[in-house]
Homo-oligomer: A and B are copies of this chain.
Amino acid sequence: MKNNRATIHDIAKALNIDSSTVSRALNNSPRVSKKTKQRILDKAKEIGYQRNVLASNLRMQKSNSIGVIVPRISRHFFSSVIAGIEEQAYESGYNVIICQSLEQLAREQNITETLLSNRVDGVLISVSMETENYEHLLRLQKNGIPFLFFDRHYEIEGISSVIIDDYKGGFDATEHLILKGCKTIAHLSGPQVLKIYKNRLRGYLDALKKHNIKFKPELVIYSRLMEQDGADSAKKILSLDVEVDAIFAANDISAIGAIKYLKKKSINIPKDVKIVGFSNEPISQVIEPSLTTINQPGFEMGKKATEMLIEKTMNKTSVLDNETVVLRPTLIERASSE
């Protein structure tokens, strides 16, 4: 099939004017008379003209799209963030290219190159659990492509982030359990290279300290927080000498794994063990009617991050800022079903 789509030349020829005038008119330049502008617009509609964004992009040296790198799309938190990103980008006329690292550093590096080649105007990223160095991200910076972290971030000079107040979330979750009367609270934590897990752990520790509960290192179990890890951690917890009466899980997936395991062992949740997980809607709402969760505002995060990125893209002057926006998680307590 031939590519016979109309170009600005076609409409110029039909009107006996130059294509440059057509181009100007289509871009609503003030330097075209109202009359010709109207003629051009009419003709364009008549012959079904459509701007060739590819050509425009080449000429403008920008793709009018932003790249998004997330560990995994099907994680509800990330898909919520993406929904927010898409919403904001759509309003500003940007396309969004979504990529998944699948928690693999190699893939993340690969994706970064692809996005570079595609001349995206900016990148939003939540790093993989494997990501321990960020040279590939600095390559973006070197090429003048602004990027922004959301959720899982590093502190890099000159790079902004939109994050959740993880410390507060960890603190609130733990204190909530303490106020419920729990004494021995285990914590499922993630790779400590990621600030989010470090901060949630800090919150946990400080809440214990505030309430004069002695910290027992064996109660903190580190893993990659996949569902199986949650189950494994629950198993490990059961094998401890001390009797654990609550768990604070640093994400929802591991909480689910733990819950399933405990249920299989006929351990009553939340009667015997209370659980709080970082999570967001709708899983957390229904997983356990009585399950308290630390809700992460994913959609808002996506919108905010995109807004900041686009502003940066437009307004290249302020590239070297270092703004960290902290969104507040909320503790959501469900009606107990006991």
Binding site for B on A (CB under 8 A): 1, 3, 5, 50-55, 57-58, 61, 63, 65, 72-74, 76, 79-80, 82-83, 86-87, 90, 95-100, 113-114, 116-119, 143-144, 227, 253, 256, 259-260, 263, 282-283, 285-289, 298-299, 316, 319, 337
Contacts and interface: CB of A to CB of B under 8 A. Distances in A.
Contacts of A114: 95
B79 A74 contact: yes
Nearest to A2: B144
A172 B61 CA distance: 55
B61 A3 contact: yes
Number of identical monomers bound together in the oligomeric complex: 2
A98 B119 contact: no
A2 to B, nearest CB: 8
A258 to B, nearest CB: 11
Contacts of A58: 52, 54-55, 57-58
A78 B74 CA distance: 8
A73 B79 contact: yes
Contacts of A256: 282, 285-286
Nearest to A143: B5
A68 to B, nearest CB: 9
A100 B74 contact: no
A118 B53 contact: yes
A220 to B, nearest CB: 25
Given A86-B99, A100-B86, A283-B286, A117 B79 contact: no
A82 B98 contact: yes
A84 to B, nearest CB: 9
Contacts of A54: 54, 57-58, 61, 63, 118-119
